[in-house]
Amino acid sequence: MSDKMISTEPATGDQIWRGKVGNVDQAMERALAAKAGWAQEAPARRMEFMRRFANQVLKHAEPFAELIARETGKPLWEARTEVEAVKNKVEISITAYAERTGMKKLDSALQGSAALRHKPHGVMAVLGPYNFPAHLPNGHIVPALIAGNVVVFKPSEKTPAVGEFLTKLFHEAEVPEDVVQCVHGAAATGKALVGHPDIDGLLFTGSAQAGIAINKKLAGDPSKIVALEMGGNNPIVVLDTPKIEDAAATIIQSAFTTAGQRCTAARRLIVPDHLYDTIVPAVTSLAERLLVDEPFAEPQPFMGTVIDNHAADVLVESRAALLEHGARDILEIKRLKEGLPFLSPGIIDTTDIDERPDIELFGPLLQVIRVKDFDEAIVEANNTRYGLSASLIGGEPGDFQHFWTEARAGIVNWNRPTNGASSAAPFGGIGLSGNHRPAAFYAADYCAYPVASTEVDQPRASIGVGLRDGDKPVRKLKDAHK
């Protein structure tokens, strides 16, 4: 097996990066040697390193964004927003660390004081995805480093150049090279890292299939912290609204931003019968106007490519499979350039499929499902093993309260897209979407563990019952069972 790796630009097919598969054992040796020193740094010192990192991101913002755009195929405007999120993650994580894992003391007079502090786990393995190859792994790395962990980071084999660039920015900020390392590789490298006996935690963003495999692998070792973010089959439900154009734009943003390659992207548009002929044509008309082009085109496109030709083929084949089972095209998803993974946005009515496949079609293909009323819409929204994001468009405050209460998802929005979650809030889902370890603001929770203490400056204790005075008991206790 070759140890060489190559990354190409989806929009052109040109080579962008060449490197070698990393050595997990060597990386772990270095991490183990570095973890004690990093953990002993004062939290304020570790935070200062992260602020230096944010400055490096700002300094290199434009070449960083250009690299993200080239390697992922996303438009430059969107790559710039990703770089901004990487920079902003630092202050958000510092605030989260203070709020979620800060030290607390409670005086208790003669009993001394009670204290709560947090300790790092040790060596944290981070597995990153390709859709946000800087922002999403960074959302694990920065909180882990602030908490005092060292990090071994494996970027997606589809976006190694971005992963390497991100790691170098930490090193340029004078974070020791052994404290955060980048190890390249595909599935075998990921498995080696997951299975390494010396990792203390595994932080993962990716597919449900890979996340389930990781969960099974580590289920027998409860000493390792595992945080999984695994995507979703997300619903967006429409009720009556006078703002049809705004509703259509919100649906388009939900389904087709990042060419549909967001874990929070809307996969299913659920529409009551009486709104179908109003909302679906409005969404279709807007989707037909979306510009799809290479990342640096002018005017800037709304969508770039999907990540590669295999992903494009899967989406086109999925559309064909849905049609065979009773679906109906509203707007056909098409390959736009031979040999390159450009796709037009697709909309397909899957109402008449008896058993709709509960899978995450990771790309610009939106399924439309007709229902009788709001109650049936909620049932359909929850008709999934996933549970990451759900949105309600239209309706009244009482409708949203009902939707919020009944929707099985970790993110529930009203008149807002399913995607674009705030880093200042927790991010995660239930079911196949996660394992109840929400990221973003709550990442601090899985990057350190709480240690409770009771403390007195001198030992003070006495035994007032149950002692003998010579051969005679001071006090006879009654049998507690009588």
The residues that are catalytic are 229, 263
Q: Are strands 328-331 and 346-349 parallel, antiparallel or unpaired?
A: antiparallel
Number of C-beta neighbours around residue 354 at 10 A? 6
Is 213:340 a contact under the CB 8 Å cutoff?
Answer: no
Is 468:474 a contact under the CB 8 Å cutoff?
Answer: yes
Structure tokens that stand for 454 in this block:
């009771």
- Residue 311 — φ and ψ, nearest 5°? -60, -40
Burial class (CB in 10 A: 0-12, 13-18, 19+), 206: buried
How many whole angstroms separate alpha carbon 379 and alpha carbon 365?
22
Sheet harboring 113-120: ordered strands across?
104-107, 113-120, 448-455
Is 353:327 a contact under the CB 8 Å cutoff?
Answer: yes
CA dihedral defined by 253, 257, 262, 268, rounded to 10 degrees? 50
How many whole angstroms separate alpha carbon 291 and alpha carbon 344?
9
Alpha carbons within 13 A on the beta-carbon side of 29: 4
Is 234:418 a contact under the CB 8 Å cutoff?
Answer: yes
